[in-house]
Amino acid sequence: MLLLRQGFSRSGWRRSIAVRQFRQDPTTGRWVIIAPGRAHRPRRFGSSEERAEAEPCPFCSGNEALTPPEIWAARAAESAADGPGWRVRVVPNKYPALTEAEPAAGLTDNLYPSQAALGAHEVIIESPAHDVSLGTLSEDQFSRVVLSYRQRLRELSRDARWRYALLYKNQGDGAGATLEHVHSQLVAMPAVPQAPRQELERAKAYFQATGECIYCVLIERETGRPERVIFQDEHFLALCPFAARFAYETWLVPKNHLPAFADSPEGTVQAFARSLKEILKRIDAVLGDPPFNFFIHSMPIADGADKYYHWQLRILPQLARAAGFEWGSGAHINSVAPEEAARVLRDGLR
Amino acid sequence: MLLLRQGFSRSGWRRSIAVRQFRQDPTTGRWVIIAPGRAHRPRRFGSSEERAEAEPCPFCSGNEALTPPEIWAARAAESAADGPGWRVRVVPNKYPALTEAEPAAGLTDNLYPSQAALGAHEVIIESPAHDVSLGTLSEDQFSRVVLSYRQRLRELSRDARWRYALLYKNQGDGAGATLEHVHSQLVAMPAVPQAPRQELERAKAYFQATGECIYCVLIERETGRPERVIFQDEHFLALCPFAARFAYETWLVPKNHLPAFADSPEGTVQAFARSLKEILKRIDAVLGDPPFNFFIHSMPIADGADKYYHWQLRILPQLARAAGFEWGSGAHINSVAPEEAARVLRDGLR
């Protein structure tokens, strides 16, 4: 098989992986990541009894030896790397979609462009305890988690190989998580991927046409006619967007114009932590701990000073599945009007 | 509530629906369909004992009164519309994403474009029996089903209001189906949606640059270096595409250049039925009856004579969920290389 090679050993980690590639589909122009090694990921969900019988959770305190060596941690001064004593711990993804070590596998081919799937893929373990969700963390711990997002995004932004870094979370089996222990992920890539690129292009075009940031205009519009506002304070606006793809889709947007999350001052990040905790608490309460994804869209690396873009977090509850219509048309059907979703999340009642 | 209006009565069907809209997101340019009425869809899966206790299945023979009146059916000569005696039956979707009756709800708004969600949404009930899947239908019944696809696509293509018709199937709860009785769906829309539009634009650009249909070129390439071929005959090629977004994604492509499915001659449609049955049988056998979606991409309505596009069916097994990375980046991670998927489906062994 062209694409398979033998398992290799690095830092004591032996695993059978295959060469990963970025590949472009000639009929759609879409890029995908072919990452055969990820098929071997363990799936671990269930009650604590089921867990006790199964393999130990690699993200629990005391099991640090089950992950690759840590990259960064918020830990007690007297504790040692890769031992207990941490509050937030960042490790390489053991089944990465992209790696720094990938050999150049791309061949020049006019019909089928491909290239080595270079990148970084990290896991941010958001608590040493297993049975917590992000919404139930203490305020202190929540701040620590969000400051660790900024810390890792800043660090990866210094690496000249990366052009975009995406921080995202999969909460619950129904949102694609493979481990239930609370964690988010961070992927750094050599190019800006399609979804943020599309937003950046539209924001740039809007700025060129009007001299204004489209997100600033949106914020003004939504706060002035608050049918889609869930809550707001001095720093952040939580709203259901006009053309939400998902039922109860929610955005969290800083009110001040800020292109890059990584450049946000500590006060903004603290305010963000408070708003994010509040919206997750409401989503859990109103929708009954639904599976959800969230991600931060921010300026590409090294473009932080530009004026036209505005970072934001988008939360996508996964109450229905994308199906044949969505995959076949590219358009989503949302069966809850954003105005109704905002009312429900605003009042805390369904 | 701006978006809600009272239930209404039509053809004996009383239901509480809300105004549907197409809405465009100003930050991404994506269109969505806001269809509040669909939140009331029943979900019906389970063993036959569970079903007997639950509501009767509206798609079973004998329960015709539980659906809106039929649009079309392949039925015995002596049988009457909306009674038993049919083999394939087409009815309006009771919880449509788009309808012909939608009042114009769109307001001109520079920031938030929207328009009335006009369209047609039909259900093709593919067998009078409940406990069958498409792959297990007899060859005769399979042909009948596929000919009914052509029949409905032809009929909708005559309606000057529609510009695109998407035929798709959701098989299994994990692929977004809400009823387990075997059926496919058909949505006709006043515009070409994003996913096929992207393909049409690329195919047109390729044709303008080279004078060739990109699908014809792909077919030649794949049959000449058959690492991604599952099987082929004189009429059809079944392959795993080079940049598959989903594990075991499979395309079925007619070998002769044919822009529109609805214009395919009966012999081609019969050959298509044989190949589709064969690939579904293999997918079920090798992957254990996985949930999957499929859809047909074809020329937009009234563009059938153009030379640059080539219809095809795309099957997307749903073995993993799209998660935060996919929604946040727009790029998919596929953990099974298409060459490996093709080998498995070719040999019938995993």
ipTM: 0.92
Do the chains contact at A321 and B242, CB–CB below 8 Å? Answer: no
- What 3 state SS string does chain A have? CCCECCCEEECCEEECCECCEEEECCCCCCEEEECHHHHHCCCECCCHHHHHHCCCCCCCCCCHHHCCCCCEEEECCCCCCCCCCEEEEEEECCCCCCECCCCCCCCCCCCCCEEECECEEEEEECCCCCCCCHHHCCHHHHHHHHHHHHHHHHHHHCCCCCCEEEEEEEECHHHCCCECCCEEEEEEECCCCHHHHHHHHHHHHHHHHHCCCHHHHHHHHHHHCHHHEEEECCCEEEECCCCCCCCCCEEEEECCCCCCHHHCCHHHHHHHHHHHHHHHHHHHHHHCCCCEEEEEECCCCCCCCCCCCCCEEEEEECCCCCCHHHHHHCCEEECCCHHHHHHHHHHCCC
Do the chains contact at A331 and B33, CB–CB below 8 Å? Answer: yes
Do the chains contact at B38 and A242, CB–CB below 8 Å? Answer: no
Nearest to A27 among B24, B38, B214 (CB): B214
Say whether A183 is catalytic.
Answer: yes
Which pair of tokens denotes residue A149?
């997002």
Could you tell me the residue ranges of all domains in chain B? Answer: 20-40+105-115, 195-347
Please give, rounded to a whole number of angstroms, the shortest distance from the CA of B47 to a CA of chain A: 22
Do the chains contact at A328 and B337, CB–CB below 8 Å? Answer: no
Nearest to B23 among A29, A185, A243 (CB): A243
Write down the pLDDT at residue B51. Answer: 59
User: Which DSSP symbol is given to B230?
Assistant: E
Q: Is the separation of the CB atoms in A22 and A33 below 8 Å?
A: yes
Write down the pLDDT at residue A1. Answer: 27
For residues B319 and B4, give the distance between their C-alpha atoms in angstroms, rounded to a whole number: 37
Chain B contact set for A339 (CB, 8 A): 1-3
Name the phi and psi angles at B293, rounded to 5.
-115, 150
Q: Is the separation of the CB atoms in B315 and B252 below 8 Å?
A: yes
Do the chains contact at B39 and A203, CB–CB below 8 Å? Answer: no
Cβ burial B261-283 (10 Å sphere, 16+ → b, else e): bbbbeeebbbbbbbbbbbbbebb
What average pLDDT values come out for chain B (350 residues) when binned by 10 residues?
A: 32 50 94 82 62 79 96 95 97 92 68 92 96 90 97 96 97 85 96 96 96 96 95 97 97 96 95 97 94 97 82 96 95 96 86
Write down the pLDDT at residue B8. Answer: 32
B119: left (phi over 0), alpha (psi -120 to 50) or beta: left
Chain B contact set for A189 (CB, 8 A): 329
Q: Is the separation of the CB atoms in B348 and B286 below 8 Å?
A: yes
Count the Cβ atoms, other than its own, within 10 Å of residue A13. 14
Residue of B nearest to A318 (CA): B323
Please give, rounded to a whole number of angstroms, the shortest distance from the CA of B32 to a CA of chain A: 5
Count the Cβ atoms, other than its own, within 10 Å of residue B108. 8
Chain A contact set for B35 (CB, 8 A): 333-335
Cβ burial A298-329 (10 Å sphere, 16+ → b, else e): bbbbebbeeebbbbbbbbbbbbbbbbbbbbbb
Do the chains contact at B218 and A27, CB–CB below 8 Å? Answer: yes
Which pair of tokens denotes residue A278?
């509040």
- Partners of A205 in beta bridges: none
Query: Mutate which of B32, B45, B215 to test chain A, going by most A C-beta atoms within 10 A?
Result: B32
Do the chains contact at B330 and A194, CB–CB below 8 Å? Answer: yes
Please give, rounded to a whole number of angstroms, the shortest distance from the CA of A83 to a CA of chain B: 29
CATH architecture under which domain B195-347 falls = 2-Layer Sandwich (3.30)
Residue of A nearest to B308 (CA): A27
Do the chains contact at B337 and A27, CB–CB below 8 Å? Answer: no
Write down the pLDDT at residue B5. Answer: 32
- Ranges of residues in chain A whose predicted pLDDT is under 70: 1-18, 37-54, 102-107, 304-305, 349-350
Query: Mutate which of B186, B223, B335 to test chain A, going by most A C-beta atoms within 10 A?
Result: B335
Nearest to A35 among B206, B323, B335 (CB): B335
Please give, rounded to a whole number of angstroms, the shortest distance from the CA of A79 to a CA of chain B: 33
CB pairs under 8 A between A and B: 275
Q: Is the separation of the CB atoms in B32 and B20 below 8 Å?
A: no
The helix or strand, by DSSP H or E, that contains position B126, with its residue range, turns out to be none
Do the chains contact at B327 and A198, CB–CB below 8 Å? Answer: no
Name the residue among B233, B234, B251, B255 with its Cα closest to residue B242. B251
Long-range Cβ contact pairs of B8-13 (< 8 A, separation 24 or more): B10/B101, B11/B68, B11/B69, B13/B68, B13/B94
For residues B303 and B192, give the distance between their C-alpha atoms in angstroms, rounded to a whole number: 11
User: Which DSSP symbol is given to B131?
Assistant: S
Considering the candidates B121, B130, B181, B183, report the single residue annotated as catalytic: B183
Do the chains contact at B340 and A36, CB–CB below 8 Å? Answer: yes
Please give, rounded to a whole number of angstroms, the shortest distance from the CA of B201 to a CA of chain A: 9
Write down the pLDDT at residue A100. Answer: 87
Query: Mutate which of A28, A121, A218, A311 to test chain B, going by most B C-beta atoms within 10 A?
Result: A28
Do the chains contact at A334 and B32, CB–CB below 8 Å? Answer: yes
Name the residue among A349, A315, A297, A290 with its Cα closest to residue A239. A315
Write down the pLDDT at residue B45. Answer: 60
Considering the candidates A121, A183, A297, A310, report the single residue annotated as catalytic: A183
Query: Mutate which of A246, A335, A350 to test chain B, going by most B C-beta atoms within 10 A?
Result: A335
Write down the pLDDT at residue A173. Answer: 85
Cα angle value B82/B83/B87 (rounded, 5°): 90
Provide the terminal-to-terminal Cα distance of chain A, rounded to the nearest Å: 54
Do the chains contact at A28 and B293, CB–CB below 8 Å? Answer: no
Query: Mutate which of A34, A217, A298 to test chain B, going by most B C-beta atoms within 10 A?
Result: A34
CATH architecture under which domain A37-105+116-192 falls = 2-Layer Sandwich (3.30)
The SS3 assignment for B44 reads: strand
Chain A contact set for B212 (CB, 8 A): none
Task: Determine the residue type at A324.
Answer: G
Write down the pLDDT at residue B349. Answer: 62
The SS3 assignment for B107 reads: coil
Write down the pLDDT at residue A55. Answer: 78
Name the phi and psi angles at A80, rounded to 5.
-110, 150
Cβ burial A226-263 (10 Å sphere, 16+ → b, else e): ebbbbbbeebbbbbbbbbbbbbbbbbbbbbeebbbbbb
Cα angle value B318/B324/B325 (rounded, 5°): 85
Residue of A nearest to B37 (CA): A335
The SS3 assignment for B223 reads: helix
Q: Is the separation of the CB atoms in A23 and A31 below 8 Å?
A: yes
The reply to whether A195-347 shares the fold of A37-105+116-192 is yes
The angle that helices A266-287 and A139-157 make with each other, rounded to 10 degrees, is 120
Residue of B nearest to A220 (CA): B111
For residues B14 and B39, give the distance between their C-alpha atoms in angstroms, rounded to a whole number: 16
For residues A19 and A28, give the distance between their C-alpha atoms in angstroms, rounded to a whole number: 23
Do the chains contact at A35 and B195, CB–CB below 8 Å? Answer: no
Write down the pLDDT at residue B274. Answer: 96
Which pair of tokens denotes residue A209?
């046409």
Which pair of tokens denotes residue A307?
């004026």
Provide the terminal-to-terminal Cα distance of chain B, rounded to the nearest Å: 53
Nearest to B320 among A176, A241, A330 (CB): A176
Write down the pLDDT at residue A16. Answer: 40
Do the chains contact at B245 and A331, CB–CB below 8 Å? Answer: no
Residue of A nearest to B40 (CA): A335
- What 3 state SS string does B161-201 have? CCCEEEEEEEECHHHCCCECCCEEEEEEECCCCHHHHHHHH
